[in-house]
Amino acid sequence: MFKYTLDNKRYYTLNYYNQMKYGCKVMKISLNAGFTCPNIDGTKGTGGCIFCLGGSNKNTEKDLVKQFYEVRDIMAKKWPDAKYIGYFQANTNTYAPISELKEKYESILELPNVIGLNIATRPDSISDEILDYLEELSHRTNLVIELGLQTINDKTVELINRGSTLKEFDDCLEKLNKRNIDVVVHIINGLPYETKEDMINTVKYLSNKKILGIKIHMLHVLKGTKLYKLYEKEHFHILTKEEYVDIVCEQLEYLREDIVINRITGDPDIEDLIEPEWLVKKFGVLNEIDKEMVKRNIYQGDKYKRMD
């Protein structure tokens, strides 16, 4: 059995990481703090990334603490002894005056059984002043910064209107590393016109970086996005479930075994989903990945160990 799992997986599971670090069930509660994005408000661009719905505007009218308790109360029925991490998810969660960030972050940290924060942001949106505050925060709570990379392919970056460069990602990661702030990186498989080699190369790149974890998403086409308009016009290839499973299995082989797999598939809103329809059966995808890894007799990091 792989050494970083409690679930008979062949990769480093988030459940294992949490159990070893905290000794209990840990649940992340997604929060929408009402932030915008420099790729939406015109600072870096407008319209956001082509797959973006504007960062999900749900719950923006609700107080953050109210948002937290609505989800916490449901989770507590199943896991009464769980601890919680506030996940600032929607849009760019370091893109605001530091006074506003402090007010919103601290309001969640003050709540019972909250043991940390995960903050999703862009690599071009952490000022030195905010970096100083994040470092201080990391000394008194469990802080993780989640950076959106998606791909290292320059042509794809332009197509998806990411608005930030690979150099900006590297520079931001280096600054966070120097402050010993944990980082989880988001990537997307199946971006328009990317090859399997492109997706593998993104993972190879990250395996040589100092990161705590990775989230692997499958591209999903949602109603109302620019991606949907592109799909209607050009009908670019959407990965089949079999193709996705194949790519993920190989990506896992190229990932260092000490990188925590925070997510390994997409989790779209069914009401907005256009493609791929197979993505709605999340646990079926997870099971197929497990079965394929057993069939191939592979584990996370196998090919990384053999890389030059």
287 domain-assigned: yes
**Separation between Cα atoms, residue 103 and residue 261, nearest integer Å:** 30
124-139 pLDDT, tens per residue? 999 999 999 999 999 9
- Pairing assessment for the beta strands 221-222 and 273-275 based on DSSP bridges: antiparallel
2 domain-assigned: no
DSSP letter string, 21-36: HHSS-EEEEEE-----
216 domain-assigned: yes
Question: Stretch 278-290: mean pLDDT, rounded?
Answer: 94
Asked if pLDDT for residue 108 goes beyond 70, the answer is yes
Number of domains in the chain: 1
pLDDT reported for residue 46: 75
186 domain-assigned: yes
7 domain-assigned: no
Give the domain range for residue 39.
14-300
138 domain-assigned: yes
CATH code of 83's domain: 3.20.20.70
306 domain-assigned: no
Question: Stretch 39-43: mean pLDDT, rounded?
Answer: 80
